[in-house]
Amino acid sequence: MRLICRIRFVFMISLALASTGSAQEACTFSIAGDWQSTVPGESSANLYRFAPDGTVTAFSPPAAGRGSTEIAKAAYALDNPRSPKTVEFTPLPGAGPLPWGSGRMEIVDVADNSFTIVKPGLAPAAWVRNDPDKYFVVLAAHRGTPPHFGGPAFVMLIKKPAGGETQFETFGLYYRDKKRVNGPAPAELIQQYMKDPGPEQDAVLRLEATAQQFSRAMKIVHSWQKRARDGALLFPPHSYLNVVVPLKEVAESLNACGETFKLHKLTWMVDDEIGANFAEWELSYQYVKRLLDLNQQANVSETKLQHTIGNSEGLALEKR
Confidence at residue 44, expressed as pLDDT on a 0 to 100 scale: 87
67 — alpha (psi -120 to 50), left (phi > 0) or beta? beta
Task: Summarize the confidence of residues 306-319 as an average pLDDT.
Answer: 62
Task: Summarize the confidence of residues 264-277 as an average pLDDT.
Answer: 91
Give pLDDT tens digits for 72-86. Answer: 999 999 999 888 999
Residue ranges of E strands in 53-124: 55-59, 70-78, 86-91, 103-108, 114-118
Return the percentage of the chain with pLDDT > 90, whole number. Answer: 57
Confidence at residue 286, expressed as pLDDT on a 0 to 100 scale: 95
**Which residues are within 8 A (CB) of 279 and not within 5 positions of it... i.e. 6 or more apart?**
146, 147
Whether the predicted pLDDT of 168 surpasses 60: yes
Confidence at residue 66, expressed as pLDDT on a 0 to 100 scale: 67
Give pLDDT tens digits for 179-205. Answer: 899 999 998 888 887 776 566 889 999
Measure the CA–CA gap between 44 and 130, rounded to whole angstroms: 15
Amino acid at 93: P
Give pLDDT tens digits for 222-234. Answer: 999 999 999 999 9
Question: The pTM is what?
Answer: 0.82
Higher pLDDT, 28 or 219: 219
Task: Summarize the confidence of residues 115-126 as an average pLDDT.
Answer: 92
Choose among 207, 300, 216, 223: nearest CA to 257: 216
Whether the predicted pLDDT of 45 surpasses 60: yes
Confidence at residue 5, expressed as pLDDT on a 0 to 100 scale: 47
> Helix 283-294 to helix 241-253 angle, to the nearest 10 degrees?
20
Return the percentage of the chain with pLDDT > 70, whole number. Answer: 86
C-alpha 295, offset from chain centre = 15
